[in-house]
Amino acid sequence: MSRNLAIVLIASTLMAPGIARATYIFDAFPKLATFTNPIGVEDPMDGTDRLFIAERAGRIYVIRNDATVTSKTLFLDISALITTQTEGGLLGLAFHPNYENNRFFYVTYTAENPRREVLARYSADPSNPSVALPGSQLVILEIPKINLHHNGGRIAFGADGYLYWSLGEDGIAELAQDLTQWNGKLLRIDINNPSGGNNYGIPASNPFVGSGVHREIWAYGFRNPWRFSFDPPTGRIWLGDVGENSWEEINIIRKGRNYGWPRMEGNECFSPSTCDTTGLNIVLPLYVYEHFGSASITGGFVYRGPSNPSLVGKYIYADYVTGEVSALTWNGVNPPTNALLTVEPGIPSFGVDKNGELFIASFDGNIYRLFATPTAVDTPAIAGALKIGPNPFGISTNIAVSLMAPASVDLTVYDVAGRRVATLMNAHSAAGSHEVNWNGRDESGRTLASGVYFVRLNLNGQTAETRRITMIK
């Protein structure tokens, strides 16, 4: 993506009340070299105004939270401990609420021999807060794994001081309903007061007690809870759960409740296809959306920053496959409303800084920010537009670029991970209509797999439009 300001105009019919018609996504650190598969953006909240960027392979970098920053420092490299097979890798990063004084931070990652998901504590160097001590690892808890599927892996501290950890069911659906298993659950543990021979304790207010039951469990019935977050003003926990056949879910988490998987997917029975939920304590999702292709929700945050008044109080989330970034509005009483904000392929995670500003990690290597205009006045359209058809397509599709004035045109196809797969136009072109045909092949002539792709039009180095396109072979 162009490292200049990218403008995406959203049709007013998609806008919920209070959201402006134009939303911008821009590179938060335009002078910084890109990252490799960033999966997390975390602020240690230690007063230093720094951000820590976690990469899937196991490296964590620290940068100044400043748009002019030009360098990044390697904070920790645990890539030798990690497997990135299947859906594995470094999954989560969280800083202790007293990090400023104790220098403790926590990571989750997948490992082999034996196959497992690990929660571990590390320490930063007391003499150099930009460098961690690799030898300081203390393993807190390990979860046995079979498939390395549906890992979840987000960790975060709540206002209660306890550490929460989301875990997927590892591709074994029935584990999500089994309280003797950790998989498919949201856990809540006390890392300040170890007990029972463990490196953590069980909060007395946790909901489950009894023989054989894992008392770490706070809520259960999840498939792949890929990212959850806290909204401090309301005390709510928001969680995105990746669906199977039909539905993606946004859930509000309540103590001790069952979120249905695999008995339910979204608001519908899944296994069995007709089901009796009597006595199962199931909470239905706050909001669901239907699959388009192989959709996969990336849970986000309720926006509370000062820069985007029209987004305050709205839950910002994304879909990894479709690339859609959306805002969900809910007042706690009436049904929620949803609005499309922009499209950016390959978003695995969001983060917030000490001011509540929202950051977007993208597998294209950049860290982005959202900016929504504070009024409902349309932003003037830039001089170009795309028209694609057929879409979806089988053999080939035609892509027309309409220019209002001469411009340098870059028309490129990306996959869902933000990787460039085909350049269709790269030339200075006259005003008027220009048409190209794409046959679903990459630049080496190989036929790509069926699925969702993105066509991006850049004019004079600035992103004019990004459109989703679906190939069905």
The first and second tokens of residue 9, run together, are 């105009």
Give domain status of residue 1, yes or no: no
How does pLDDT run across 195-226, given as a tens digit for each residue?
999 999 999 999 998 778 999 999 999 999 99
Per-residue confidence (pLDDT) for residue 418, from 0 to 100: 74
Q: Does residue 379 form part of some domain?
A: no
Q: Of the candidates 346, 372, 398, which is a domain's last residue? A: 372
- Shared domain for 57 and 166, answered yes or no, is yes
Whether residues 166 and 22 share a domain: the answer is yes
**Is the separation of the CB atoms in 293 and 451 below 8 Å?**
yes
pLDDT of residue 24: 66
Pair 240, 150: CB distance under 8 Å: no
368 and 389 both lie in a single domain: no
Q: Which residues contact 249 (CB under 8 A, 6 or more apart)?
A: 240, 241, 243, 259, 266, 285, 287, 288, 297
The CATH number that applies at residue 436 is 2.60.40.4070
Q: What's the pLDDT tens digit per position in 140-181?
A: 999 999 999 999 999 999 999 999 999 999 999 999 999 999
Is the peptide bond between 262 and the residue preceding it cis, with omega within 30 degrees of 0?
A: yes
Q: How many domains does the chain have?
A: 2
* Percentage of the chain lying above the pLDDT 90 cut: 71
For residue 114, cis peptide bond before it (omega within 30 degrees of 0): yes
Q: 464 and 355 in one domain?
A: no
Domain boundary among 372, 394, 416: 372
Q: Is residue 377 part of a domain?
A: no
Question: pLDDT higher for 410 or 218?
Answer: 218
* Same domain, residue pair 287 and 400: no
**350 and 431 share a domain?**
no
Collapsing DSSP states into helix, strand and coil, what is residue 81? helix
How confident is the prediction for the chain on average, in pLDDT? Answer: 89
Q: Domain holding 237: CATH number?
A: 2.120.10.30
Task: Judge if pTM exceeds 0.85.
Answer: no
Residues 127 and 252 in one domain: yes
Q: Write out the residue range of the structural domain in which residue 239 sits.
A: 6-372
Residues 242 and 349 in one domain: yes
Q: For residue 320, what is the DSSP state?
A: T
Same domain flag for 340 and 221: yes
Strands laid side by side in the 337-343 sheet: 297-302, 315-319, 324-329, 337-343
In a domain, 322, yes or no: yes
Q: 210 in the Ramachandran plot: left (φ > 0), alpha (ψ -120 to 50) or beta?
A: left
Q: Are residues 303 and 443 in the same domain?
A: no
